[in-house]
Amino acid sequence: MAEGKKTDIKLPDPSKLIVSSSPHLHNGSSVRKIMWLVILALMPSCIMGVYYFGFAAFRVLAVCVISSLIFEYIFARMMGRNNDWKDGSAIITGLLMGMLLSAGMPWWVCVIGCFIAIVFGKQVYGGIGFNPFNPACVGRIALIIAFPKMMTTWVPTRFMDKSFFVFDKSLLSPEKIEQIKGMSHLPFFHSVIDGVTCATPLGVVQTPFKLGTATEQLVGTVTDWQHVWQYAIGNIGGCIGETSAIALIIGGIFLIAMKVIKWYIPVSYIGTVAVFSTIVHFSMSPPALPGMVYQVLTGGLLIGAFFMATDMVTTPMTCKGGIIFGVGCGIITCVIRNWGGYPEGVMFSIVLMNALTPLIDRVTANRPFGKKQTSKTEA
């Protein structure tokens, strides 16, 4: 054949061809992209937290994120995984840690919490992918145990006025009250006022219930529409990030829409709490516990259900497993809230279910295509 005239045709240079196993395409997803989407989804709640609690909240969040990153950097490098800190997961842990603290938290408590979360919650197990428990939950639980007083003391939001008296738990020093009473709201850069604290809605209701002093009137007050609206927008006492229900739901829906998390864990978790609390509410007469709306909107349920119970590393992989996980979390949460020693049970329930995850994964493994249902046990 006439070879000569084909010299202008370029052929590949074999020495530059890469040889590797199939498949040769990838859908472009990456751990880092997933992590940044989660960070983005947490932003509405963070912004609402800073809006309501002022600069103090920003300070807590910043301390947590920065210290988490530093700990992750140091400890991941110590373990020889030099690039781990870049994946963004430490930022999520830091953000969640901060969001689960009161805006009045001293900086050193934040740092200790993040240290425990990153080092004992994650790095000691081998870093991302190997931790059995949600790192932020571990950090938060450690702080509750180590600093029980501080962790159950909350500061009021900038916009609380007397009509929300139900939230003013301990008005310790009357001068301080006088000091804030004159203002319609606190300035953004207010310093946290000593001695002025406020309770979380859950604390206000669950504690009297456990003491047997709850009244129908109290339940009625905390569930009127005005209060419900405050819960929804986040003008309530509590952690920085768990207050605004609307912001959390927006973030959660965003993650579901971006296919970062699966709908079934949050839905089964929140659904279980809703059903459980409705049953408890109506089985009591007079109802001494508020019903479903209250239980879902207040406390750490939404942040837990959307952002912590959906942490991929520590939750089951299949749909069936996810639903079991969500229902389990829901039941444990309600039991702790209504009858346990703490007003809130979200963190404990998630950690407890994390521990069950390997087991759940085992029993809910898909039936391989072409295998008889029973052959797994036979084999």
Partner 1 sequence: MPVTVRLFRGGVHPKEGKELSCSEPIRTAPLLDKYTVILHQHIGAPPKLLVKNKDKVRKGQVIAEKAGFVSASVHSPTSGTVKLVNCHGPAGSHTPAVEITSDGKDEWDDYVKSDPDWEQLDSNECRKRVEQAGIVGMGGAAFPTSVKLSPPADKKIDNLILNGAECEPFLTADHRLMLEEGEKILTGASILGRILGVDKISIGIENNKQDAIDKLRETASKYSVEVIPLRVMYPQGAEKQLIFAITGREVPSGGLPMDAGCVVQNVGTAAAVADAVRERKPLIERVTTVTGKPVCNPGNWKFRIGTPLSKVLELAGGIKKQPAKMLLGGPMMGMAQYSLEVTIMKNASGVLLLDEDEIAQFGSQPCIRCGRCVEACPMSLMPGTLSQMIESEKFDLAEYTNVMDCIECGSCAYVCPALRPLVQHMKRGKAEVIANRK
- Contact flag: residue 77 with partner 1 (CB under 8 A): no
Q: Which stretch binds partner 1 (CB under 8 A): 1-9, 41-49, 239-247, 348-356?
A: 1-9
Q: Which stretch binds partner 1 (CB under 8 A): 19-27, 161-169, 244-252, 338-346?
A: 19-27
- Contact flag: residue 1 with partner 1 (CB under 8 A): yes
**Residue 315 Cβ vs partner 1, minimum distance, rounded to whole Å:** 8
Between 29 and 173, whose beta carbon lies closer to partner 1? Answer: 29
CA distance 272 to 28: 36
Between 170 and 366, whose beta carbon lies closer to partner 1? Answer: 366
**Residue 99 Cβ vs partner 1, minimum distance, rounded to whole Å:** 21
**Residue 26 Cβ vs partner 1, minimum distance, rounded to whole Å:** 3
- Contact flag: residue 18 with partner 1 (CB under 8 A): yes
Cβ atoms of 270 and 252 within 8 Å: the answer is no
Which residues on neighbouring strands pair with residue 154, listed in sequence order?
198
**Residue 74 Cβ vs partner 1, minimum distance, rounded to whole Å:** 19
Kindly state the DSSP code that residue 190 receives in the 8-state scheme.
P
Q: Which residue has the tokens 């002025």?
A: 196
The residue among 26, 10, 65 whose CA lies nearest residue 42 is 65
CA distance 104 to 102: 5
Backbone region of residue 227 per phi and psi (left: phi > 0; alpha: psi in -120 to 50; beta: other values): alpha
Q: Which stretch binds partner 1 (CB under 8 A): 153-161, 168-176, 245-253, 370-378?
A: 370-378
CA distance 280 to 277: 5
What does the per-residue mask of binding to partner 1 show for 258-277, with x meaning CB under 8 A? ----x---------------
Residue from 228, 282, 291, 312 touching partner 1 (CB under 8 A): that is 312
**Residue 314 Cβ vs partner 1, minimum distance, rounded to whole Å:** 8
The number of CA neighbours under 13 Å toward the Cβ of 354 is 24
* Distant-in-sequence, close-in-space partners of 296: CB < 8 Å, separation ≥ 6: 245, 270, 273, 274, 277, 302
Cβ atoms of 309 and 316 within 8 Å: the answer is no
Q: Which stretch binds partner 1 (CB under 8 A): 59-67, 101-109, 134-142, 366-374?
A: 366-374
What does the per-residue mask of binding to partner 1 show for 108-147, with x meaning CB under 8 A? ------------------xxxxx-----------------
CA distance 231 to 36: 27
Cβ atoms of 325 and 316 within 8 Å: the answer is yes
- Contact flag: residue 80 with partner 1 (CB under 8 A): no
- Contact flag: residue 6 with partner 1 (CB under 8 A): yes
- Contact flag: residue 356 with partner 1 (CB under 8 A): no
* Distant-in-sequence, close-in-space partners of 370: CB < 8 Å, separation ≥ 6: none
**Residue 241 Cβ vs partner 1, minimum distance, rounded to whole Å:** 23
**Residue 131 Cβ vs partner 1, minimum distance, rounded to whole Å:** 10
Cβ atoms of 45 and 99 within 8 Å: the answer is yes
Q: Which two tokens stand for residue 252?
A: 């959660």
Cβ atoms of 352 and 344 within 8 Å: the answer is no
**Residue 258 Cβ vs partner 1, minimum distance, rounded to whole Å:** 12
Cis preceding linkage at 156, omega within 30: no
Residue from 30, 170, 179, 191 touching partner 1 (CB under 8 A): that is 30
Around Cβ 116, how many Cβ atoms within 10 Å?
20
Count residues near partner 1 (CB under 8 A).
51
Instruction: List residues binding partner 1 (CB under 8 A).
Output: 1, 6, 8-27, 29-31, 33-34, 126-130, 262, 312-318, 361, 365-372, 375, 379
